[in-house]
Amino acid sequence: MNRRPLGRSELVIEPLVLGGNVFGWTVDEKLGFEILDAYVDEGFTAIDTAQGYPNWVPGNPPGMSETIIGKWLKARGNRDKVHIITKVNSAHQPQGLSAEAIRTGIEDSLQRLQTDYIDLYFSHWPATESTHEETLAAYDVLIRSGKVRTIGASNYDAAMMKAAQDTAILKSLPRYEVTQPLYNLYDREKFEELKPFLLENEVGAITYYSLAAGFLTGKYRSNADLGKSPRGGGAEKYLNDKGLGILEALDAVGKELGATPSEVALAWLVAQPGVSAPIASATSVEQVKSLARGVRLTLGDDANARLTKAGA
């Protein structure tokens, strides 16, 4: 399994990132430990979370996902063997990428994760209240102090990425080495607009909603299926002719390769130029094993073209 660099940074990971958004939501601490154990046993290292996961659950204290991951890191004593990815400005808060917000955000995340450094720290959402210079200068302090190794930008378009990079060059500040865009077989527009910048400037991309909120697993094929999972509502927008056409193509390719729709969907993502690794979450150990099979699956040119055409 080929490991991939994240931009021009020192970070190199396998082509899969475990999504931590389900920890503290549909996955409790005990099951979370089992999933994390299974993930590293499969040979993967990168774990994605955020200060805001899953604060959409009523009554949750801040950062439950980070807290569960932190307890696991302490229990396993394996901090140096994994890559921890987290984010600041998860809730579009005022001054969410100001120097003060970043300074306090990193300290809270470090405490919950029970670590003294973050491998990859993301600006979760753009914040127009702060300039790129202020934000990158704050990250520069964290990098110089050893609290952060590399920085990235999530949900930034090409214009934002270029403006941030220009500022980094002009002011001798660290640049965003990685993006985290929405990208899957159905949702193409945002990444396709961003891809030329990524390729030209050697910026990595770890994609979110890689399985389209679970739709590309094939378990949501009618409105009746949506109520079968707490996450079903997120898949409703994909239940249309385009979405069902994609599932049909995934079924066909999967039958040829002896793979599930989700495994084929991940294999397609891993094969796309500009993609460093897809993010995918799991709610069982068997799902972790399926994610691993997916990113190790090789698609032929014909299968790749058929899938690409289905989602066009």
Residues catalogued as catalytic? 53
Strands 17-19 and 12-13: unpaired
Those residues with Cβ within 8 angstroms of residue 84's Cβ, 6 or more apart along the chain or in another chain: 47, 49, 69, 73, 113, 115, 118, 119, 120
The count of other CB atoms within 10 Å of the CB of residue 55 is 18
Cβ-count burial of 81 within 10 angstroms (0-12 exposed, 13-18 middle, 19+ buried)? exposed
CB 281 within 8 A of CB 22: yes
- What is the residue whose two structure tokens read 């120097």? 99
Task: Tell me the C-alpha to C-alpha distance, in Å, between residue 170 and each of 21, 178, 179, 199.
Answer: 36, 19, 20, 21
